Structure 1
Amino acid sequence: MKQIRFEKFGPPSQVAKCVTVDAVGEPSAWEVVVDIEAFPINPADLATLAGRYGSLPKLPAAIGMEAVGRVARCGEAVKDLQVGDRVMVTANNNWAQQRKVPAAAVHKLPADGDLHQFALMKVNPATALLLLEHDGQLKPKDWLIQNAPLSSVGRCIMQIARVQGLRTINVVRRPESIDHVKRFGGDVAVVDGPQLEQRVREAIKNQPLRLGLDAVAGTSTSRLAACLSEGSTIVNYGMLSGEECSVGGDQLIFRGIRLEGFWLSKRLNRMTLPQRTALYDAISEMIARKTLQFEVDSSFAMDEIAAALARAEEPGRSGKVIVSVAGQSA
């Protein structure tokens, strides 16, 4: 069968190769074999190939955080899944024609629905939903503020917040991004820069602002902190600026602002199977109802992985790059 593998870290489009490997074999009692239909290219995959991710594999290695497919074979002890069920694989190393994994490492999906939408549900919407549920401190009509609202996670945050009755303030870099924010359900968009705090307070009429979601880090973290009410929390989940978070001691000491980090992989590992099931049930339901949707930029075949990765690295895309696997010969 075909699998994407890499033997060294480097430019993703140069180091990832589509190779032929041994078939996965028959499942044990509690395992399933999944025919992969499609997988997206995630920033974490690009960072792993480049050697810049928080957890790196021993080389040579397989790769792939996300994938969706159909159950091809079930172990004799597996009762909750049947051949033909569409599933999302929650394990990693999914860029392959087939995966053999524990039955607990797949999540059953609705029988119908958009394949590409389901392929994108493991990472970004889960990150968004867990960020919004941070400490259970937000209630309907509460405000939160985020930067990078037009990133993949940022778009999910706006859409899920609207479903939950929350209101979002979205900090953009350019005025022309404001209309795009509104298209994804953002309530307020403000341009970043000096006096951001004043513009935010005017926009929400000095209402409490208890949560800041930071994908950028650097000095952007400090500007978000200045917008928050006393005793509030910033959760940092990305470093798009390439810099460390910067928050002044006056914000932390005198205003009681808390700065926390969030890494989805670590959070998922701490969750029980029923908790993960509930998380992805909620996400798949929103996708099925089309209250949560993802933009797809382009689709490639598996043996076009170099071109797919090159496209995924290009700036200015409005959607995700998908690799279609179904129908390709081994």
Structure 2
Amino acid sequence: MLKVEFKKIGIPEKQLYLTETTTDEKLKFNEVLIEVLFFPINPADLLLVEGKYGTASPTLPSLIGAECIAKVLKVGKKVKKVQPDDIVMPLTRDNWAEKLKVTEENLIRVNRSINLVQASMLKVNPATAYLILNNYIKLNQGDKILQNAANSGVGTYIIQLAKYYKIKTINIVRRKETLKELKKLGANKIILNNLKNNKIITNKVKLFIDAIGGPEVDKWASYLEDHGTIINYGLLSGKNIEINTNKVIFKNISLKGFWLSLWLQKMSYSQKFNLYSHLSELIMKNVLHTKIDQIYHVKDIKKAVLKARKYKRNGKIIVAFKKENIKKYI
């Protein structure tokens, strides 16, 4: 069995490596043996290797991987939620391995007809976008929201979901070449991040979704209406959030953080199943879709990680364990 792991904290493409090991396929009564088909490379995965992720450092050597899509190979005696050949999404981490043993409570069964490459990205970004839009403030049709890193994984899902809900998005990006693609997704307004463009926002917005942090949060918070909300879900700047106290006191601007793991911890299995079933349906209806830059075989994991770290990509980087699976999607 092939798996990806790292022994030292450092530069991801230097520290991550492919190794082979045997798998104990003997299952406990509630365990399921799954075969990983595809996995995406997410920023959080790379931050973990760099030692910059918000959780405690893992015991090394460590597996890695926030999400994947897999097929059930074998089930324990008392497993009822899934059966062999089902397509499943693990709720657990450390998914960059060819085979995994997972308890049935940590598996979400998805429709077998779903696009498997798109489904490999189901757990993190679509759920983040959905929960941010539906769980903090009441958004009605026609309301405006503002977001930075609009061309990121979460950002593009926010645009697509907002279009589906008939909510208008104002989207901040750094690169001019992203404009055409974001308009195609349904972005209502796009701002290149420089001071000249700030006047484009003429009406106040209810919600500012921030993936970057740092001093610019205060600048964009100026466009929130009274009682407006900032949701921060990322730290791309590597700097602490700054916001003028006057905005907090006299405009009652509130700042809240979002971390998907905390949300999933407090949700029941049925709530998680309903969430991901709904998002799966939206993927199958093509309401939600992510552009793919390239699919790599796992033996090229270092090349895949290096490409994933580049800002100028044309979509997401996906990795597969079998070459025949790659051929189905290129």
Which category of TM-score, normalised to the shorter sequence, fits these structures?
over 0.9
1:104 paired with 2:105, answer yes
- What residue is the counterpart of 1:217 in the other structure? 213
- What residue is the counterpart of 2:307 in the other structure? 311
1:261 paired with 2:257, answer yes
**Contact (CA 8 Å) 1:24, 1:99: kept in 2 or not?**
no
Alpha-carbon distance in 2 for matches of 1:256, 1:195: 27
Could you tell me how far 1:86 is from its partner in structure 2? Answer: 0.6
State how 1:159-308 maps to structure 2 within 5 Å: 159-194=160-195, 198-201=199-202, 206=203, 209-308=205-304
Could you tell me how far 1:176 is from its partner in structure 2? Answer: 4.9
**Contact (CA 8 Å) 2:297, 2:322: kept in 1 or not?**
no
**Contact (CA 8 Å) 2:114, 2:280: kept in 1 or not?**
no
**Contact (CA 8 Å) 2:33, 2:72: kept in 1 or not?**
yes
- What residue is the counterpart of 1:322 in the other structure? 318
1:75 paired with 2:71, answer no
Alpha-carbon distance in 1 for matches of 2:45, 2:128: 16
The one-letter code sitting in structure 2 at the alignment partner of 1:193 is: N
The one-letter code sitting in structure 2 at the alignment partner of 1:199 is: I
- What residue is the counterpart of 2:64 in the other structure? 63
- What residue is the counterpart of 2:153 in the other structure? 152
Alpha-carbon distance in 2 for matches of 1:53, 1:113: 31
Secondary structure of 2:161's partner? helix
Could you tell me how far 1:327 is from its partner in structure 2? Answer: 6.1
**Contact (CA 8 Å) 2:297, 2:323: kept in 1 or not?**
no
Secondary structure of 2:39's partner? strand
The one-letter code sitting in structure 1 at the alignment partner of 2:144 is: W
The one-letter code sitting in structure 2 at the alignment partner of 1:109 is: V
The one-letter code sitting in structure 1 at the alignment partner of 2:23 is: A
The gaps in structure 1 that reach 5 residues or longer are none
Alpha-carbon distance in 2 for matches of 1:175, 1:302: 32
Alpha-carbon distance in 2 for matches of 1:174, 1:106: 38
Secondary structure of 1:133's partner? helix
Could you tell me how far 1:136 is from its partner in structure 2? Answer: 4.3
**Contact (CA 8 Å) 1:24, 1:98: kept in 2 or not?**
no
TM-score normalised by structure 1 residue count: 0.93
- What residue is the counterpart of 1:18 in the other structure? 18
**Contact (CA 8 Å) 1:312, 1:321: kept in 2 or not?**
yes
Computed over aligned residues only, the root mean square deviation of the Cα atoms, in angstroms, reads 1.6
- What residue is the counterpart of 1:142 in the other structure? 143
State how 1:16-95 maps to structure 2 within 5 Å: 16-55=16-55, 56-95=57-96
1:2 paired with 2:2, answer yes
- Stretch deviating more after TM superposition (185-194 or 26-35): 185-194
CA separation of 1:220 and 1:315: change in aligned 2, threshold 3 A: same
Could you tell me how far 1:326 is from its partner in structure 2? Answer: 3.3
Alpha-carbon distance in 2 for matches of 1:134, 1:171: 22
**Contact (CA 8 Å) 2:4, 2:64: kept in 1 or not?**
yes
The gaps in structure 2 that reach 5 residues or longer are 325-330
Could you tell me how far 1:135 is from its partner in structure 2? Answer: 2.4
Secondary structure of 1:223's partner? helix
Count of matched residue pairs: 323
| Percent of pairs with identical residues | 34
Alpha-carbon distance in 2 for matches of 1:196, 1:257: 23
Could you tell me how far 1:296 is from its partner in structure 2? Answer: 1.0
**Contact (CA 8 Å) 1:36, 1:326: kept in 2 or not?**
no
Alpha-carbon distance in 1 for matches of 2:237, 2:147: 15
**Contact (CA 8 Å) 2:67, 2:90: kept in 1 or not?**
yes
**Contact (CA 8 Å) 2:141, 2:167: kept in 1 or not?**
yes
The one-letter code sitting in structure 2 at the alignment partner of 1:46 is: L
**Contact (CA 8 Å) 2:148, 2:210: kept in 1 or not?**
yes
Could you tell me how far 1:80 is from its partner in structure 2? Answer: 2.2
**Contact (CA 8 Å) 1:67, 1:94: kept in 2 or not?**
yes
Could you tell me how far 1:150 is from its partner in structure 2? Answer: 0.6
